[in-house]
Amino acid sequence: MKFTDYLTRRIHPHARRSPHIDDMSRLLSFPNWPDVIESWPELRDWLKQHNAQMDDYTTAERAWTSYKAFLKAEGFKSCQNVPAPCAAFLEAYRP
């Protein structure tokens, strides 16, 4: 699951509501999201390239932390050392 998919899932009307819905929606409005984001520093650098506001950094860092916890809880592995393009994959998945 890509980070942008996670954000979309969090702001979906049927998802558990968060006080940061509008902030996450603003994050999703940035154009040209990369397919793979491996780390918070990589996301932070990408936001800097897109002239993000300070609130965007705060929202992105919180969302990134939640995203990584979600992946871990759901049994998704990291994309590290996996041929591109990877957006995290389920451990139990075996084609």
Per residue in 13-57, pLDDT (tens digit) is: 666 666 678 888 889 999 999 988 999 999 999 999 999 999 999
Q: How far is CA 84 from CA 1, 36, 38, in A?
A: 14, 8, 11
d(CA 81, CA 48): 26
pLDDT of residue 1: 86
- On the question of pLDDT at 94 being above 50, the answer is no
d(CA 82, CA 10): 26
Instruction: Say which DSSP state 16 is in.
Output: P
**Residues 81 and 66: beta-carbon distance below 8 Å:** no
Name 74's Cβ contacts closer than 8 Å, sequence gap at least 6: 90
Q: Where are the domains of the chain?
A: 3-90
The neighbouring-strand residues paired with 76 are 90
**Residues 43 and 3: beta-carbon distance below 8 Å:** yes
pLDDT of residue 50: 94
- On the question of pLDDT at 89 being above 70, the answer is no
pLDDT (mean) for 62-86: 74
